[in-house]
Amino acid sequence: MQITDKVFVVTGGGNGMGREVVLGLLARGARVAAVDLNEVGLAETAQLANVADGRLTTHPLNVADRKAVLALPAAVTKAHGQVDGVLNIAGIIQPFVKINELDFDVIERVMNVNFWGVVNMSKAFLPTLLERPESSLLNVSSMGGFLPVPGQAAYGASKAAVKLFTEALFAESQGTPLAVTVVFPGGVATHITQNSGVDTSKMEAAMGSGKAPKTTSAPDAARQIIEGVEKGSFRVVIGSDAKFMDRFARLNPRRATLLIANQMKSLLG
């Protein structure tokens, strides 16, 4: 899909990868409706974008709020005249604790944002996208969606659900103008931990004076996401960590699981 003059809806547009995707799409000549729960973050994105011709609109809402999401297609169409693509990037993680120590309300919150948010947005916009001559639906899963990470079981389950949901949408969309893409980022340098309300003290203590793990920058991750839209890719795997573990987990899932478990041992205690 050519990006110029197309209209895209981007969730998580108030920070991190979502913000960088918004800025990257605008730089390529697109129009963007940025969605985020954080109204202040959206305002910062708009200030960074610095586009004065109406190519960017901001829409503060919770993607887990189905009623609000179902009203969004009409609002975006009114502002931009059409919708050519939806990029579901918004997501949160859980506290780094074992499932036995994780409250039900935290599990539900993670599932509501990460999985139901994607379902809500997809269901809301699919009728519009299927009417366009060409369109794109991109959903962000995670390396944790194909490889279990101790201390992130609910997060991983939500992202595994996004993976299968998106792959099923891909299969169902054959013979239509809609390209469906699933994205698997590894470690990306964003503020997802703080934005999720997760205490980082255990993580910092576990890392101690050790070398911080290598991560992909948010702008680089955003570039790869936008290229995935341009190419109509089935899947996009971001980062050397995700690419390595993607292969390893398929070749020997037990060993891959134990490798991650050993790496997380000091964090979980």
Catalytic (active-site) positions: 155
Strand partners, 84: none
Burial class (CB in 10 A: 0-12, 13-18, 19+), 87: buried
Q: Which phi and psi (to 5°) does residue 226 adopt?
A: -65, -40
DSSP string over 20-84: HHHHHHHHTT-EEEEEES-HHHHHHHHHHH---SS-EEEEE--TT-HHHHHTHHHHHHHHHS---
Lookup: tokens for 64: 């887990």
- Which is nearest to 184 in space by CA: 136, 227, 146, 214? 146
Cα angle for residues 259, 109, 11 (degrees, 5° grid): 90
Tokens of 27: 């730089």
Which neighbouring-strand residues pair with 180? 137
Q: Nearest CA to 236 among 249, 251, 225, 244?
A: 225
Q: Which two tokens stand for residue 156?
A: 């991983």
Number of H helices, E strands in the chain: 12, 9
